[in-house]
Structure 1
């Protein structure tokens, strides 16, 4: 049964501005595993990667009905990739009965993240 949906969009230029103003922003948002993946990317891809992960984490918090900070923190959620390239999101605050369906898409100027939360019957 679907228990929540969420979507978020992040503009790359706004993400770049935050990264420049707040150097610790990346360590506040990304888990160590996500940072390892990001550091191996080119500068442009790093922005896209961070924006996509930020969007999925926001979308997950919206799907949960709480927003980031209320019951889920940035690092409670980790978004890595399956071998196929598809995003795989896990949340340490959820038990095994909740499955997270996540999708990330990019345009030239922004990234969008969508999450559907499904609870096993």
Structure 2
């Protein structure tokens, strides 16, 4: 049974990645390592924007949940095939990038 569905979109042109302060607020340590290893400006913006949209979508789907109130509480990684996943059981995420936008959908099951 579905507990919640969340969706979010991020305008990548609004992300300032000239310093790491925004990335450090949004990304966990593992996510930040992946971000730092991105080779191009575009790849970094898409990665950061996708994680930001994914975490916002997660919080919309989960609602108010005790102990989950920070971007650092949620981690979005990729499996060996490149598919994104959340570190929260019974959750599903889809991320997409197009031109200047990143979008995410999250479904939480009970």
TM-score over 0.5 (shorter chain): yes
**Structure 1 position 23, deviation (Å):** 4.2
Return the match for 2:42 from 41, 44, 51: 44
CA 1:115–1:72 in structure 2 vs 1: closer, same or farther (change >3 Å)?
Answer: same
Residue by residue over 1:34-56, the C-alpha shift from the partner in whole angstroms, topping out at 9 and shown as x without a partner, is: 01111111221000000000000
Question: Which residue is 2:53 aligned to?
Answer: 55
Q: Using the alignment, how far apart are the partners of 2:79 and 2:37 within structure 1?
A: 17
> Aligned Cα RMSD in Å?
1.8
| TM-score normalised by structure 2 residue count | 0.90
User: How many residue pairs were aligned?
Assistant: 108
**Structure 1 position 25, deviation (Å):** 1.5
| TM-score normalised by structure 1 residue count | 0.82
Runs of 4+ in 1 over 4 A off after TM superposition: none
| Structure 1: runs of 5+ lacking an equivalent | 92-97
| Structure 2: runs of 5+ lacking an equivalent | none
Is 1:10 aligned with 2:10?
A: yes
Q: Using the alignment, how far apart are the partners of 1:58 and 1:66 within structure 2?
A: 13
